[in-house]
Amino acid sequence: MKNLKNKKSIIISSFLILIIGIFNLSNPITSKLDKLNISEKEVSQIYSSTIDVHKDLIKKIKNTNKIEVYHDYHFDNVEDINPITVSDKNIINDYLNLLSKDIKQSTQDLSGSSINNQKLVFYTDREKIEVNYSYDDLYNFGFISYRNKDIYLDYDFFRLISNTGRYSPKESNICDDVKNLFKKYNWTPSFLIAKHKVKICDDLMYAPEKGIDEVYWAYNLQLSKSINLDFSNFLGKEVDAEVYYLLEPLPNFTYPIVDTRAVVLKHNNKIIGAYIDSDIINRAICSLDRKSFDEITGYILEDYLIENHIDKNSKLNKEIGKLSIQKIIETYYKSQSDKDVNRYLSTLDMGAIVSLLEPDNCDIKGELFNSIDKKHDIFKYANKTELLEVKDNDEVSGMKEVNIKLNILKSNQITIDKGIYDMIVNMRKNENGVYKINSVGF
């Protein structure tokens, strides 16, 4: 069923975060040594010998001039993976520095959400050294396997492995002004992910008629202003947007999100803006000085945008404000089958709009945000539907849960067949007292 977006809807992301929290509280990972009932003395001996193996590995690979990275979520057999070759000396040094950090005395078991037994190959002038690795991206830990020892490393090492495939172009010289900016706030850029020429919107007032780009620039302007980079004087101008992968993890308040990337805006080669972004659903992560959006503005993201960046003269917003809840839901489904992007946007609350900014991970051109006013592919799985029944429930803190019975007349998805389904539409009251759709699910 096409929800607010085909991947990672708001309700799914919220549920995932909840599940992670529950698992962390009620189902901590048990260690291999606990199961084997090994004494503390034996643990100490194992750890000591592991340190010796780790030191030997560091010595062997210190003159590495090339690394082959075998990494793919879809293959268990490492021989089926085409390696990524890293020859950039700066990135090689990032690998070596992270690998050389003090190892952890840990024996955690991998969960079901893990990358198992994949491979790194380090090339020196004299030899090549193969190292296997496994890591868990649910609980954020990992280890390398060398000479029959599992060496637990800082998770930043495995984040770098998983993101190396995004390294583009293949030779990336990070300018001194960018390095100095990040250094000022204790960030380390490893490589350039992408560079795009983009036009900042003429204004920052959101209206469904215009698309959703204004939303992206409105909230990131606040993150950038936190470090005194105010790019509001460049509205309507074309700028260079450079996307960098950073070695340090995100602040603790973003957990379980840890991967870090930053966007630097330049005009005529001068830095005019910068912020920490994410290519997942909750786009407004933090400023370079590690302040959250609500810490900077005093608002949660959706409330800030509603109060400060809604175009009160929007024709579509006025039209949708006159409709009943049933008619809004009917419009939501009909606009998808009609491929009417702007009317579809008019049915959505601001939280859903922010989620639509998530770029298509398969489209490098979408590294910044998904400009859906130009990309109608959000409707490629839209079904033809008939709304049979609507049960409007009571409001709780501005939210309303509406139960509907939906007849799918024609399905364009392999995940759902034609037929009648009971579904839940979560709606949120906006500043004019109009309920709009936040999420849809079963």
Task: Supply the mean pLDDT for the chain.
Answer: 84
pLDDT, residue 22, reads 34
Examine the pLDDT at 55 and tell me if it is beyond 90: yes
3-state secondary structure of 438: strand
Give the mean pLDDT of 48-74: 91
pLDDT, residue 167, reads 76
Query: How does residue 169 score in pLDDT terms, banded at 50, 70 and 90?
Result: low
Provide the percentage of residues in the chain whose pLDDT is more than 90: 58
Token representation of residue 234:
């460049």
Query: How does residue 79 score in pLDDT terms, banded at 50, 70 and 90?
Result: confident
Give the mean pLDDT of 145-153: 93
What is residue 83's DSSP assignment? P
Query: How does residue 208 score in pLDDT terms, banded at 50, 70 and 90?
Result: very high
Give the DSSP H/E element, type plus range, for residue 70: strand 66-70
Token representation of residue 172:
């990336």
Token representation of residue 247:
């070695």
pLDDT, residue 280, reads 61
pLDDT, residue 26, reads 35
User: 31-166, what's its fold?
Assistant: Immunoglobulin-like (2.60.40)
- Structure confidence by residue, pLDDT tens digits, 210-223: 989 999 999 999 99
Examine the pLDDT at 24 and tell me if it is beyond 70: no
Token representation of residue 329:
């839901």
Comparing 185 with 12, the larger pLDDT belongs to 185
Q: In the chain, what are the domain boundaries? A: 31-166, 176-308, 313-441
Q: What is the DSSP string of 390-437?
A: EEEEEEETTEEEEEEEEEEEE---SS--SEEEEEEEEEEE-TTS-EEE
Query: How does residue 335 score in pLDDT terms, banded at 50, 70 and 90?
Result: very high
- Structure confidence by residue, pLDDT tens digits, 90-125: 999 999 999 999 887 776 788 877 888 899 999 999
Q: What is the DSSP string of 218-241?
A: HHHHHHHHTTT--GGGGTT-EEEE
pLDDT, residue 258, reads 83
Give the mean pLDDT of 411-417: 85
Token representation of residue 179:
């390095």
Lowest mean pLDDT among 86-100, 137-151, 161-175, 329-343: 161-175
pLDDT, residue 355, reads 85
pLDDT, residue 378, reads 73
Q: What is the DSSP string of 155-179?
A: HHHHHHHHHGGG--SSS----HHHH
pLDDT, residue 29, reads 37
pLDDT, residue 5, reads 35
Give the mean pLDDT of 157-186: 86
Lowest mean pLDDT among 93-107, 232-246, 284-298, 353-367: 353-367
Of the ranges 108-112, 193-197, 266-270, 350-354, which is most confident?
266-270
Query: How does residue 129 score in pLDDT terms, banded at 50, 70 and 90?
Result: very high
Q: What is this structure's pTM?
A: 0.82
- Structure confidence by residue, pLDDT tens digits, 349-401: 999 998 888 765 444 445 677 766 555 667 877 889 999 999 999 989 889 99
CATH class of the structural domain 313-441: alpha beta
